[in-house]
C-alpha cells in the first residue's frame, strides 16, 4: 500500500514540467518542427544502421542481400533527413496538411449527409470547413503549417500537464482517505 501512494508529488512535478514545456513549445513553433524533423531523421537513420548491423551479425548462409540494400537505403534517407531538416520540415508540414484537409473533407461530406437526420449537422460542417482550410493552408504555406503543428503539440502537452497535476492531487487525497480508514 505504501508503494502505491508514496510518490504522488513526482506526478505533480512531471505535470508542472509538462506545462513549462508547453510554454516553450508555444513560444518556439519553428524550433519545435525543426526538432521533430531531426528526431524523425535520427530514428530512421538508427533503424537503417540497426538493419545493417543485424545483417552483418547474421550467418553468411542466412543473409539476404535485399535486406542489406533496404537497410542502406533507410540509413541514407535518415541521414538526408537530418542533413536537410528544412526539406524534412516541409514534407512533414505537407503530409500534415494533406491529412487534415482529407479529414476536413470527410467531415464536411459526413455532416452534409447527416443534414436531415441530425439537427446540429451544421456544427460539424463548419468544423470540417475549418479543418479543410487549415489543411490546405498547411500544404501551401509551410510556415502556417509549422505553427499549427506546434500549436497542437503545445495544447496536447499542456493538457497532459494539467491532467497529471489533477491526478497527483487526487492520488494524494485518496491516500489520505485510505490512511484515515485504516486507522479506525
DSSP structure string for the chain? -HHHHTTHHHHHHHHHHHHHHHHHHHH-HHHHHHHHHHHHHHHHHHHHHHHHHHHHHS-TTT--HHHHHHHHHHHHHHHHHHHTHHHHHHHHHHHHHHHHHHHHHHHHHHHHHTTTT-TTHHHHHHHHHHHHHHHHHHHH-HHHHHHHHHHHHHHHHHHHHHHHHHHHHHHHHHHHHHHHHHH-
Residue 29 counted as domain residue: yes
The pLDDT tens digits along the chain (184 residues) read 455 555 888 999 999 999 999 999 999 887 888 999 999 999 999 999 999 999 999 998 888 999 999 999 999 999 999 999 999 999 999 999 999 999 999 999 999 998 888 888 999 999 999 999 999 999 998 888 888 899 999 999 999 999 999 999 999 898 888 888 888 7
Domain of 145 in residue numbering reads as: 2-35+86-183
Residue 50 counted as domain residue: no
According to the model, what pLDDT value does residue 68 have? 94
Q: Count how many domains the chain has.
A: 1
| Residue owning grid cell 508529488 | 9
Residue 133 counted as domain residue: yes
How many C-beta neighbours within 10 Å does residue 44 have?
20
Residue 164 counted as domain residue: yes
Residues 6+ apart with CB under 8 A from 77: 44, 48
According to the model, what pLDDT value does residue 144 have? 83
Residue 117 counted as domain residue: yes
According to the model, what pLDDT value does residue 2 have? 52
According to the model, what pLDDT value does residue 4 have? 54
Residue 106 counted as domain residue: yes
According to the model, what pLDDT value does residue 1 have? 47
Residue 162 counted as domain residue: yes
What is residue 60's three-state secondary structure? coil
Residue 130 counted as domain residue: yes
According to the model, what pLDDT value does residue 110 have? 93
Q: Is the dihedral of CA 150, 151, 154, 159 positive or negative?
A: negative
Amino acid at each position: 500500500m505504501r508503494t502505491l501512494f508514496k510518490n504522488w508529488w513526482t506526478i505533480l512535478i512531471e505535470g508542472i514540467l509538462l506545462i513549462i514545456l508547453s510554454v516553450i513549445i508555444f513560444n518556439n513553433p519553428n524550433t519545435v518542427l525543426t526538432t521533430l524533423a531531426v528526431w524523425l531523421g535520427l530514428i530512421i537513420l538508427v533503424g537503417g544502421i540497426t538493419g545493417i548491423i543485424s545483417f552483418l551479425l547474421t550467418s553468411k548462409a542466412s543473409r539476404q542481400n535485399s535486406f542489406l540494400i533496404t537497410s542502406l537505403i533507410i540509413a541514407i534517407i535518415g541521414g538526408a533527413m537530418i542533413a536537410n531538416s528544412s526539406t524534412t520540415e516541409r514534407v512533414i508540414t505537407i503530409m500534415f496538411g494533406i491529412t487534415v484537409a482529407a479529414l476536413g473533407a470527410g467531415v464536411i461530406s459526413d455532416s452534409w449527409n447527416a443534414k436531415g437526420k441530425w439537427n446540429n449537422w451544421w456544427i460539424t460542417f463548419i468544423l470540417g470547413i475549418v479543418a479543410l482550410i487549415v489543411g490546405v493552408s498547411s500544404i501551401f504555406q509551410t510556415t502556417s503549417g509549422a505553427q499549427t503543428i506546434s500549436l497542437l503539440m503545445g495544447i496536447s502537452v499542456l493538457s497532459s500537464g494539467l491532467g497529471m497535476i489533477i491526478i497527483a492531487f487526487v492520488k494524494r487525497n485518496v491516500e489520505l482517505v485510505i490512511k484515515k480508514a485504516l486507522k479506525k
